[in-house]
Amino acid sequence: MPLDEYRRKRDRGRTPEPVPESDPARTGPGDRFVIQEHHARALHWDLRLERDGVLASWAVPKGLPVDTETLRLAVRTEDHPLEYLEFSGEIPRGEYGGGSMTIWDHGRYEAEKWSDREVAFTLHGERARGKYVLVKSNRERRDGWLLKRSDRTDRTPLPHDTAPMHGQPGELPSDPEDWLLQVRFGGRRVIVEIDGGRVRPTADGEEVPAKTLGELGPAVGATALLLDAELTRGGELWISDLLFLDGRDTCGLGFADRHALLEELPALSGPHWRLAPVYPADTGRAVLDAVRGQGLPGVVAKRKDSPYLPGKRSGTWVEVGEVGESDEQKPRRTHGKAGVGRAKLTNPHKILYPLTGTTKADVLAHYRAVAPVMLPHLAGRPVTLVRWPDGVEKPSFFEKDVSRHAPDWIRTERVGTPGGRSESADFPVLESEEGLAWAANLAALELHVPQWRVGPRGGRQTPDLVVFDLDPGEGTTIVECCRVALRIAEVLAEDALEAWPRTSGGKGLQLYLPVTVSRAEQTIEFAKAVAERLADESPRTVTSVMAKARRRGKVFVDWSQNNTAKTTIGSYSLRGRARPTVATPVTWDEVRACRRPDDLVFTLDDLPARLDEHGDLLEPLLFTERQRLPRRA
C-alpha cells in the first residue's frame, strides 16, 4: 500500500507529523506541491508532488537549480500523506528525519510527463516558478535521480574559482562624499561560495578549512552567494563584499548597492561571521584612530559606485594603513582603550541602543555599578551570553562556548549541553568586575544563568533555586503578573515558604525561592504542581500550558524554566530591548502597588538610585537558610 513504508518509519506517539491510519482512496493526477526546508542530519529540501492521493517525494540536498546548466541530485523517498502539504515543525531527535522542517514554498503544478524514469513538470509557486525535469539516474544510487531546470531564465550559474579584487595603497580620499570606509581585520582573503546550504571558502583556488563556519550554510539556506571576506586565525569571518546573489552576478553594481544587498541578508550575522563595518568617509580620521587603537591593519576606502573587478587592482579602492594623529585626537584614542584591569573596552562610543543613544561605554558603566550586587548571584553559575555586536536593532546571537576567544584569566567550566549542537561547551563563569567588563566589550548585553551552580571540582550541583517565570499573554501586562505573583506567595506560605520578586526586564515578573533538594527533578515537579493548581483555580486568567494560543488574555506560569538545561536572565542584567531595561529586584510592596506597566520598568539610569535606597533586594537568596520543598502530587 502506498503509505505502508511511511507509517513503518514513524511512531505516531513520538512525532508531530501526520500519520493517517488508512490509505487514500483517491487516484489520478493532482496539482498541488510543497517544498520543505529540512534541517535534519544534513540540510536538504524535500520536493513533494501530489499524485494518486499521496505526495510523491524527493529529497534534494542542494535545493532546486536556478539555471539550466546546473544538475542537482534528488533522492526518491517514500510517499507522504497529503496532510504533509501543510506540515512544519520539529521532528524529535532520534526519530526518522529528526530536526526542524519549514515550508519553503507551495502552490500548484502541471505534470507534462510522468513515468517510472522521468517526471517533467512546471511549478507555479511564490519562490519556485518554471519548468523542471526529474530523470532516473543509472549511475547514481538505486533511488537516485537528477533534477534540472528545462526552461530558459535570466539567472546565471554560480561562478567558481573567482579571485578577489584589490585596491591601491594611498591616503584618505579628499572628496569623502563619493566614498565609504571599510575596516580590515588582517585575516586571510577568501572567496566564500555558499550553494545549497554548503559553504566553500577558497584562497588562491584552494579550499580553506573553516570548522567555525559549519552553520553558515544552513543559516543561508537555499540562497546562492559568492562573498569576498577575511578569515581570521580564530575562525572569525568578516564579510566585505557581494559578488553573486541567487542567480544574479552583482559585480557590475556599485559598492554602496552591493553592501545594501548584504545588509538585507540577516543570515550573514552569526556566531562566527558578520559584515565588516562600513563608515562614511568623512569620519575617516576617527575610524583610523579606532582601528589603530585595536591593533587592526587599516581600512579600505571604496568609491560608492565602484564595480567589483575579480582578480584586478583598481584605484576605485584605496588601501589606507596606519597614520599619525594630532594632539586633539590622542585623548580620544586613549579613552577608546579604557576598560577594567585586563579587560579592555574597544569602540566605547559605539551606540548599542539607538533609541536612547546608549553606548558601549554606558553598558560597561552599568555593569561596573551593579557588580557588587550582581556578582554574588552569578558566582559558580555558567553564563550564556546574548550578544548584539551591531546594537539592539540588528541581529543578536547566543554564545555558550567561549573557548575559542576567552582570555586565559576568564574562568570557564565544561558543562553538558543536552539537546545542543555538541555534547558539552566551555561556559564562562564571571567572578569579577573584570569579567563583567570583558562581557560588556563583547556587547553581551544579556547574561543568562541556570538555577544551579558548578561544584568546586566542576560538575553540575543540584539546583538551589526555584523560579516562577510569569509571562503575560496577549492582552495582559505585568500588572496581571503581579496579581498572580501575590497568589503564588499565598500558596507558598501554606508550606512556610517565602519567595522574592524581580522583574524580567521585559514584560514579565519572576519569583525566586532558595531551596535545598536531593534530586534535580524536585524543583521542576514542585513548580509545575503550583502552576497547575493556580491554573485550576483561575482558568480564565492563569495557564500552565506553554502554547501561545492558550495564553491569550492569561498569565502563563512558566514552571519549565526549572529544567536544568534552561536558563533565566541574570539579576541586574541588561535586556536587548529598544530601551536599556534591567532585570531588577523589587519589593512586595511595589508588586502590590503596581497599577500600570511602567510602574515596574527600570533602565540602567534608574539602578544607581535604587541601589542606594534598597541595596540588593535579592540578598536573602544568598544568605537565607535554604528551604525544603514539600511533596506535591
DSSP secondary structure letters along 2-67:
TTHHHHHT--TTT--S---SS-----SEEEEEEEEEEESSSEEEEEEEEETTEEEEEEETT---SS
User: How do residues 477-505 score in pLDDT, each as one tens digit?
Assistant: 999 999 999 999 999 999 999 999 999 99
Residue 254 burial by Cβ neighbours in a 10 Å radius (0-12, 13-18, 19+): middle
Query: Model confidence over 239-260: pLDDT tens digits?
Result: 999 999 988 999 999 999 999 9
pLDDT band at residue 446 under the 50/70/90 scheme: very high
Question: Does residue 468 or residue 12 have the better pLDDT?
Answer: 468
pLDDT band at 29 (very low <50, low <70, confident <90, very high): confident
Q: What pLDDT sits at residue 556?
A: 95
The CA distance from 405 to 130, in Å, is 47
Kindly state the average pLDDT of the residues 19-36: 87
pLDDT score of 292 = 80
Res 338: pLDDT: 64
Higher pLDDT, 204 or 126: 126
pTM: 0.51
Average pLDDT over residues 579-592: 96
d(CA 147, CA 156): 17
587: three-class secondary structure by DSSP: coil
Asked whether residue 328 carries a pLDDT value surpassing 50, the answer given is: no
Q: Which DSSP string corresponds to 516-583?
A: E-SSTHHHHHHHHHHHHHHHHH-TTTEE----GGG-TTSEEEE-GGGSTT--EEPTT-B--SSS-BB-
Residue 624 pLDDT: 80
Residue from 144, 131, 141, 161 nearest 66 by CA: 131
The one-letter amino acid at 214: G
d(CA 569, CA 485): 18
Contacts of 328 (CB under 8 A, 6+ apart): none
Lowest-confidence pick of 107-116, 131-140, 258-267, 371-380: 131-140
Give the pLDDT mean for 175-186: 92
pLDDT averaged over every residue in the chain:
90
Extract the C-alpha cell encoding 463: 539546583
pLDDT for residue 294: 77
- pLDDT tops 70 at residue 333: no
Label the pairing between strands 99-114 and 298-303: unpaired
Residues 6+ apart with CB under 8 A from 202: 161, 190, 191, 192, 193, 208
Q: Looking at residue 1, what is its pLDDT?
A: 59
Rounded Cα distance between 370 and 361, Å, is 14
Q: How far is the first Cα of the chain from the last one, in angstroms, to the nearest whole number?
A: 46
Q: Under a CB-based contact definition with an 8 Å cutoff, are residues 449 and 382 in contact?
A: yes
Beta strands in 116-195 (DSSP E): 118-125, 129-136, 144-149, 166-169, 179-184, 188-195
Q: What is the pLDDT of residue 179?
A: 95
Task: Give the per-residue pLDDT at 322.
Answer: 46
Answer whether residue 363 shows pLDDT above 50: yes
Select from 291, 295, 261, 265 the least CA-distant residue to 277. 291
How many other CB atoms are found less than 10 A from the CB of residue 533? 18
Report whether pLDDT(336) > 60.
no
C-alpha pair distances (Å), 486 with each of 110, 476, 490, 509, 626: 61, 16, 6, 11, 21
